[in-house]
Amino acid sequence: MLTESRFIRACRRQTTDTTPIWFMRQAGRYMPEYRAIREKVTMLEAIRSADLAHEITMQPINAFNLDAAIIFADILTPLIGMGISLDFLKGEGPHIDNPLRRTSDIDRLATPPAEETMPFALSAIRQTVADLTPRNIPLIGFCGAPFTLASYAIEGGGSRNYEHTKGMMYSEPAAWKRLMERVVTVLSDFLAKQVEAGVSALQIFDSWVGAVGPRDYAKFVAPYTKQLIEAGQKTGVPVIYFSTGTGTMLDQITALGSDVVSIDWRMGVDKAWSEIGYDKAIQGNLDPLLLFAPWREVQANTDAILAEANGRPGHIFNLGHGILPGTPVETVRRLADYVHEKAARLEQVAL
């Protein structure tokens, strides 16, 4: 773990010379270098090639002044080893041919170790860490949160209402418990193996959890997410928990115990941090759509976020969700430079 890197110091709420910045989905379709690779291979082929995953991970690091890399992969990949048939359909996204709709489907799920099912991901991590370490840039490993992965597996793809997921939660609570326990087993092992391969931090993505209310979150989600966070923390690296649409549940999210809470753009950093508590680091939270706006709007909103953070140690600048396809590359470059320069000036004024 690169403990003296700007990003890791911020995860530990230690002082930094300026605010660290990285972007969720910083390697992806908005970059022409990435599109050139994807013209030749499918999404799964890119993920399953350690060389390609390494190359894609490094593309934004070589293009922008970023403080962390995140390994190129997909949160759904662990489901394949469990026996779920996953593919990525052009123009549609993830698609599962055998969604979990019956209790017998859950009982057939396997829980194999990551070395057997995802050796390509671990190899990509080792290659990437070898390139990043001399530059003092840490690599972030990640996985999906149990609720988000379970929802994909049950729904078979994207969903607006999560009818099948909530139906199983309410009508088959014992089956839901078995499913979540198996997912946690697989993900806990995957996180540990990523740290063994060399990542310096872990992020858990709970992109769909805003679909449940506070009572359901407490009963059906939080116990398993907490188990996963604790498993990640046993590796000794900082753990970031990211969720969307959960501004009304920050008390429950805080109780999960992650080292860093990553928030979306629906509330201010100042308000969120005061609710989370200043004993935790915070990550966020520019609206990804603002990157399509004129620079004056990007700059004004960036200034507002930095002002809300108020120079307090432990702020990591990021978007409130991932970079969207079509995002102007020059805006990404300009924003990374601007955050460093603006935050450094604020730090000097504070001193």
User: In the beta sheet, which residues pair with residue 95?
Assistant: 87
287 catalytic per annotation: no
Angle in degrees, CA 87, 93, 99, rounded to 5? 55
6 catalytic per annotation: no
275 CB burial (10 A radius; 0-12, 13-18, 19+) = middle
221 DSSP 8-state letter = I
Closest CA to 127 of 53, 191, 41, 65: 53
Selecting among 38, 126, 312, 333, the annotated active-site residue is 38
Distance CA(78)–CA(267), nearest Å, equals 32
The residue behind tokens 């123009």 is 91
74 catalytic per annotation: yes
Q: Give residues with Cβ within 8 angstroms of 169, minimum separation 6.
A: 176, 216, 220
Selecting among 9, 13, 34, 152, the annotated active-site residue is 152
Are 73 and 197 within 8 A, CB to CB?
no
216 catalytic per annotation: no
Q: Give residues with Cβ within 8 angstroms of 158, minimum separation 6.
A: 93, 94
Selecting among 9, 25, 48, 182, the annotated active-site residue is 25
Give the tokens for residue 155. Answer: 């729904």
Selecting among 6, 48, 74, 189, the annotated active-site residue is 74
Distance CA(126)–CA(124), nearest Å, equals 5
Are 201 and 240 within 8 A, CB to CB?
yes
Residue 307: what residue type?
A
278 catalytic per annotation: no
Angle in degrees, CA 326, 330, 332, rounded to 5? 75
Are 151 and 205 within 8 A, CB to CB?
no
What Cα–Cα distance (Å) separates residue 122 from each residue in 55, 69, 117, 190, 334?
Answer: 14, 15, 10, 9, 32
Residues annotated as catalytic are 25, 29, 38, 74, 152
